[in-house]
Amino acid sequence: MKLLKLVPDNTNIKFLKLRVPFFVLSLVLIFGSWAAVAVNGLNFGVDFAGGQEVRMTFQSREQAPIPSLRELVGGLGYGEPVVQEFGAPNQVSIRVPLPDGVEDTPGAATAIGDKVIAAIAAQYPDARRDGNDTVSGKVAGEFRNSAILALLAAMAAVSVYIWVRFEWQFGVGAMFALVHDVSVTLGLFALTQMEFSLQIVAAILAIIGYSLNDTIVVYDRIRENLKKYRKMPMNELLDLSVNETLARTVMTSLTLFVALIPLLIFGPPSLFGMVAAITVGLFIGTYSSIYMAGPLLIWMGVTTDSFVPTESAVDRQDKIARGQG
Amino acid sequence: MLDFPLWKKLSLWAMTLAASLLALPSLFNVSGLDWPSALPDPQVNLGLDLAGGSHLLLEAKASDVRAQRLENMEETVRQLMRNAKPRIRIGDVSTAGGQLSFILENAADIDRARGLIEPAMQGATTVREWELNVVDGQRMVLSQTDAGVNQAIDDAMASATEVVRRRIDELGTREPTIIRQGDTRIVVQVPGLQDPEALKALVGQTAQLEFKLVDLNALPSNVQAGIAPAGSEIFPFAPGTPEQGSFLAVRRLGGIRGENLTGAQAGVNPQTNQNIVNITFDAQGGAKFAKLTTENVNKPFAIILDGQVLSAPNINEPIIGGSAQISGSFTPESANNLAIALRSGALPVPLAVVEERTVGPDLGADSIRKGLIAMGIGSLAVIALMIATYGRFGVYATVALVFNVLMLLGIMALGGFTLTLPGIAGFVITIGAAVDANVLINERIREERARGRKVVAAVETGYKEASRAIFDANLTNVISGVALFAFGSGPVKGFAVVLIIGIVTSVFTGVTLTRMFVAGWLRKARPNDIVI
């Protein structure tokens, strides 16, 4: 039986030769993403923006009448509504801002949602109410804060773990890779103006965990090779490590990718944004494992002599026992 | 490494099969089959976003609790001073700035006043709840300590949670969740609810019922302008009443709160055909009510609900039977809601809905179906890729993957965890990532073979060397999973739960189980070469 080999044996791609241009590209991507977030802003969903959101399906239509809905709901006097497609073309989410002080009047927010739904149902009898969310400004603010906190805490905790398991330079490298992955994902959401919700933050947190998997595999091999090839120049050693683990990097990303694609196409429409974020994050994470996490080690002065003390005690004892220590 | 004694094999299989069997009831349920009722039936709970239902986050304002406490203290102090023998006269009573302050008309009363008030400042606990200061020898100032306010908030929230629970139980829905969250919040989750409006109408109603005498001396023009005469306060008429839009002045003190009720039923007044709520007082409330109505025959009193006047009927005769009728332009539904709310007790503090999420039941079923289809296709794709790439070793990974999904589902059912919509994505991610361990192991075996190691040695080294990276990678995933769990509310927590359990099961199936499979085959077939 002939087995599939997506990556040929003994590849020798000179990844590190292009490390400067790619690193510059990465920096451009990071700062570009920040600029995109600053200029375009994120299209916050009801979780982060607050307000009253109603989701409806127009059962006997191919296409939801978005412009006329915008007009209809806008005419109710609750301010400018955000009407957008949600999942399928005949599904919409409609968000209206809540007036100030609505928290003090129990039932006021609900009354607004009911009026919106009633107005739509009167004009479109085929509209099915799929659900509604009300998030007060205060709770939305808390969600924003806890999202930022969770992202920072996860990035820090994971980097510290890498630092503890490897060396501080690896921790910093992982941190940079994560900043890159999170920034670029945020930048994509700013550019596409896809709705940014709690689910998307969950997706980014998952990316923080999974994008490092490739990085860890490469780092693990770098550490192994650092002990093995004491004389090899650092950039050659990095290239060797990346090449040796290339099949793994490709395969692990690919298995996740082929599992996610059907979910993207056939899965529940309301998961689309989240799954899209994870899928994109997967590619960004693979790229950053190769081009951010590795080269940074060179620039932080990791050399083949750096890790003599990292040999485990067992190895040392072995050598002592064999009279080499 | 490849040595699996019989006891080890048996216990691994026992664990795998036991956890997998736990998944069967949930699988039967999803596919619409009947699980034999004689067998235990652990089920994966479906989150509100899949089962449909309502989630409410209710919040009390600390300032309401403070204000309420201050008012109670004012009433207590007035009563104590009035009942003192001889009576202690006080004046210039003010509750401005969150403090109760008043002047003793006779400075010589100060020690007596202090002696009476100090016991009233002490609550049921050892917490110092109030602070008493005397200014200029004659003015007494009572201020609330933070500890006292916190204690009061805590008490109010505990009883509010109870009240909310009683009200929701009256709805007769299945398995509602009502839990306190943080200092001032209550989470209410009612799955499969058909009519979320009724829930909100019920929970949102504070149901503070008050009977207060109408201030007949107030100038109507002042009342409508919102200027209350001394000793009175002004309330608007409730929406839906004939007097809607106008205001009524009532005496601030000396009324009755609707706390001492033993029952409340919606009904219809046979004479007027109006919807009404019949209430029954307990002995203490009945006596108070009888006293109030006896002393004020032929005067109007206002029935006030949550700060709005429902009606202001005339007291035609003393009401001494301990029951009364509330009229107030009700619909049958609003009369029924009020009856439930009064029966279950008033909320000690108003609760506002700060977050609400309602999902219709149709969408959830659709999501599960689509999620299952996507999961099926995704699994097939992963399996095809693994078998095409690693041959026999891919088959082992596939078997492990199937057990992984079953065990994950089984453990979720056993632990009573909740599957949410993002949790479905978590399942798919777990499927895609679970085989990563096998990729790392198999690639390492390939490498070791390429370096010329013998089959058994290559496999052994493969498992040993790959396990380090597998461990680190999964641990970072657990770390981000924990961050997810800590950050998330409902649906996102469900995602985190699937990811974290999936990591544990995938390491078990992907590393331990496959090693057992491979070891068994190597022992039996003793191959000189392997295709990998």
| A203 and A272, same domain (yes or no) | yes
d(CA B35, CA B41): 8
| A307 and A271, same domain (yes or no) | yes
Is A323 contained in some domain? no
| A114 and A247, same domain (yes or no) | no
Distance from the Cα of A194 to chain B's closest Cα (Å) equals 17
Q: How confident is the model at residue B283 (pLDDT cuts 50, 70, 90)?
A: confident
Is A250 contained in some domain? yes
Q: Do A110 and B359 touch (CB under 8 A)?
A: no
| A37 and A56, same domain (yes or no) | no
Tell me, what's the pLDDT at A147?
92
d(CA B119, CA A258): 72
Over residues B402-427, mean pLDDT: 93
Return the axis-axis angle of helices B436-450 and B392-415, rounded to nearest 10°: 150
Q: Say whether residue B450 is in contact with chain A using an 8 A CB cutoff.
A: yes
Is A115 contained in some domain? yes
> B164, B84 in Cβ contact below 8 A?
no
- In chain B, positions 363-402, which contact chain A (CB-CB < 8 Å)? 363, 366-367, 370-371, 373-375, 377-379, 381-382, 385-386, 388-391
Domain CATH for A152: 1.20.1640.10
| A203 and A252, same domain (yes or no) | yes
pTM, whole model, 2 decimals? 0.82
| A152 and A211, same domain (yes or no) | yes
Look over chain B and give the mean of its residue pLDDT values, rounded to a whole number. Answer: 87
Q: Is the pLDDT of residue B455 over 70?
A: yes
Q: Is the pLDDT of residue B287 over 60?
A: yes
| A91 and A146, same domain (yes or no) | no
Q: Examine the fold and report which residue of A120, A135, A150 is the final residue of a domain before the chain moves on.
A: A135
Q: pLDDT tens digits for A3-46?
A: 888 888 888 888 888 888 998 999 999 999 999 999 999 999 88
Q: What's the length of chain A?
A: 325
d(CA B379, CA B431): 7
d(CA B30, CA B326): 49
Q: pLDDT tens digits for A122-178?
A: 888 888 888 888 888 888 999 999 999 999 999 999 999 999 999 889 999 999 999
Over residues B472-486, mean pLDDT: 92
Tell me, what's the pLDDT at B345?
80
Q: How confident is the model at residue B194 (pLDDT cuts 50, 70, 90)?
A: low
Q: pLDDT tens digits for A72-131?
A: 888 888 888 888 887 778 888 898 888 776 665 656 666 787 788 888 888 888 888 888
Tell me which of A319-323, B186-190, B232-236 is least confident.
A319-323
Burial of A260 (0-12, 13-18, 19+ CB in 10 A): buried
Q: Is the pLDDT of residue B100 over 70?
A: yes
- Fold entry, domain B6-52+361-525: Multidrug efflux transporter AcrB transmembrane fold (1.20.1640)
Q: Do B433 and A255 touch (CB under 8 A)?
A: yes
**Tokens describing residue A279:** 């899928």
Q: Examine the fold and report which residue of A135, A164, A179 is the final residue of a domain before the chain moves on.
A: A135
Q: Is the pLDDT of residue A310 over 50?
A: no
Q: Say whether residue B362 is in contact with chain A using an 8 A CB cutoff.
A: yes
Look over chain A and give the mean of its residue pLDDT values, rounded to a whole number. Answer: 86
Interface size A-B, in CB pairs within 8 Å, comes to 251
Is A8 contained in some domain? no
Tell me, what's the pLDDT at A149?
93
Is A184 contained in some domain? yes
Q: How many CA atoms lie within 13 Å of B495's alpha carbon, on the beta-carbon side?
A: 30
- Fold entry, domain B205-358: Gyrase A; domain 2 (3.30.1360)
| A196 and A88, same domain (yes or no) | no
d(CA A135, CA A79): 16
Tell me, what's the pLDDT at A11?
85
Return the axis-axis angle of helices B196-204 and A108-123, rounded to nearest 10°: 160
Over residues B374-393, mean pLDDT: 95
Q: Examine the fold and report which residue of A135, A157, A172 is the final residue of a domain before the chain moves on.
A: A135
Q: How confident is the model at residue A261 (pLDDT cuts 50, 70, 90)?
A: very high
| A151 and A108, same domain (yes or no) | no
Closest listed residue to residue B167, CA positions, set B338, B360, B352: B338
Over residues B47-69, mean pLDDT: 86
Q: Write down the domain spans for chain B.
A: 6-52+361-525, 54-190, 205-358
Is A46 contained in some domain? no
Q: Best interface-test mutation with A: which of B54, B363, B480 has the largest number of A CBs within 10 A?
A: B480
Distance from the Cα of B93 to chain A's closest Cα (Å) equals 28
ipTM metric: 0.87
Over residues B449-458, mean pLDDT: 92
Q: pLDDT tens digits for A37-85?
A: 999 999 998 889 888 888 888 888 888 888 888 888 888 888 888 888 8
**Tokens describing residue B196:** 């979320």
CA B531 distance to own-chain centroid: 56
Closest listed residue to residue B364, CA positions, set B52, B73, B112, B138: B52
Chain B residue nearest residue A105, CA to CA:
B352
**Tokens describing residue B501:** 């359990």
Q: pLDDT tens digits for B420-445?
A: 999 999 999 999 999 999 999 999 99
Task: Print the domain residue range for A85.
Answer: 51-135
Q: What's the length of chain B?
A: 532
Tell me, what's the pLDDT at A179?
93
> B300, B218 in Cβ contact below 8 A?
no
Chain A residue nearest residue B445, CA to CA:
A248
Tell me which of A238-242, A310-314, B45-49 is least confident.
A310-314
Q: How confident is the model at residue B448 (pLDDT cuts 50, 70, 90)?
A: very high
* Total domains in the fold of chain A: 2
DSSP codes, B26-75: HHHHHTTPPPPTTS----PEEPHHHH-EEEEEEEE-HHHHHHHHHHHHHH
Q: Is the pLDDT of residue A231 over 80?
A: yes
Q: pLDDT tens digits for B196-231?
A: 777 877 887 888 888 888 888 877 787 787 777 878
Q: Best interface-test mutation with A: which of B55, B373, B429, B448 has the largest number of A CBs within 10 A?
A: B429
| A68 and A147, same domain (yes or no) | no
Largest distance between two CA atoms of chain B: 109
Tell me, what's the pLDDT at A325?
36
Q: Is the pLDDT of residue A321 over 60?
A: no
**Tokens describing residue A246:** 């290339």
Tell me which of A159-168, B61-70, B119-128 is least confident.
B119-128
